[in-house]
């Protein structure tokens, strides 16, 4: 009778351990699927992040070059020097010459931005080139500064999201390790119960 009672307890313990094992195994499988999905999502986002970072770097380089052209000594001060005089001076030759010089410089910037936009396939630079072609340089400088601020904000947002992905992956890996250890302990307990 004691043997039968002990055997019944062992069988009950074995059944409980097998039930726990089934629950833990299904939880582990769900966690592994979540990890696979999360890893794929994070890898895609990391890839997208890298390509956007590259595009931003190229756009910033093009914008920096445009700023250099706009800020160069050849362009600097010419608007203040010549444009107000268009209304005041009577000499048509001076007016024509200063307007042509500014137009040529503006055209150089437009040409450069368009070529960079085409080379990097950047809609932002293409839009900037169109704005440069239509607007005076002061508005372009403001637009460039606004664009730089926006690009920096986007880069910060993406860096934060990448940090979140990294944290999720780390947390999921820790959970997976814990579940694996639990499964191994339950297997050992089942083997021990079967042996007795």
Q: What is the pLDDT of residues 42-69, one digit of tens each?
A: 888 888 888 888 888 888 788 778 777 7
Predicted pLDDT at 73: 65
Question: Of 77, 111, 83, 87, whose CA–CA distance to 97 is shortest?
Answer: 83
Cα 69 vs. chain centroid, distance in angstroms?
29
Predicted pLDDT at 19: 87
Length of the chain: 196
Question: Tokens 């380089």 label which residue?
Answer: 61
First CA to last CA across the chain, in angstroms?
Answer: 17
Host H or E run for residue 1: none
Q: What is the average pLDDT across 160-185? A: 88
Are 127 and 64 in contact, with CB atoms under 8 Å apart? no
> Chain-wide mean pLDDT for the chain?
77
Choice between 60 and 153, residue whose per-residue pLDDT is larger: 153
Nearby residues of 169 by Cβ (< 8 Å), 6 or more positions away: 35, 38, 39, 42
Per-residue buried b or exposed e for 132-159, using 16+ beta carbons within 10 Å of the residue's own CB = beeeebeebeebbeebbeebeeebeebe
Question: Tokens 């042509």 label which residue?
Answer: 100
Provide the whole-model pTM: 0.37
């Amino acid at each position: 009778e004691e043997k039968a009672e002990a055997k019944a307890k062992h069988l009950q313990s074995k059944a409980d351990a097998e039930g726990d094992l089934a629950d833990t195994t299904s939880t582990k499988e769900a966690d592994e699927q979540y990890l696979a999905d999360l890893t794929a999502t994070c890898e895609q986002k990391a890839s997208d992040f890298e390509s956007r970072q590259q595009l931003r770097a190229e756009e910033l380089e093009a914008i920096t070059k445009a700023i250099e052209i706009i800020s160069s000594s050849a362009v600097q001060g010419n608007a203040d020097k010549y444009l107000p005089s268009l209304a005041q001076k009577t000499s048509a030759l001076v007016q024509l010459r200063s307007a042509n010089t500014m137009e040529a410089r503006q055209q150089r910037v437009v040409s450069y931005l368009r070529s960079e936009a085409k080379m990097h396939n950047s809609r932002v630079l293409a839009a900037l080139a169109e704005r440069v072609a239509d607007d005076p340089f002061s508005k372009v400088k403001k637009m460039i500064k606004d664009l730089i601020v926006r690009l920096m904000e986007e880069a910060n947002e993406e860096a934060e999201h990448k940090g979140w992905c990294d944290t999720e992956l780390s947390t999921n890996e820790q959970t997976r390790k814990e579940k694996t250890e639990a499964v191994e302990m339950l297997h050992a307990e089942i083997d021990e119960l079967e042996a007795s």
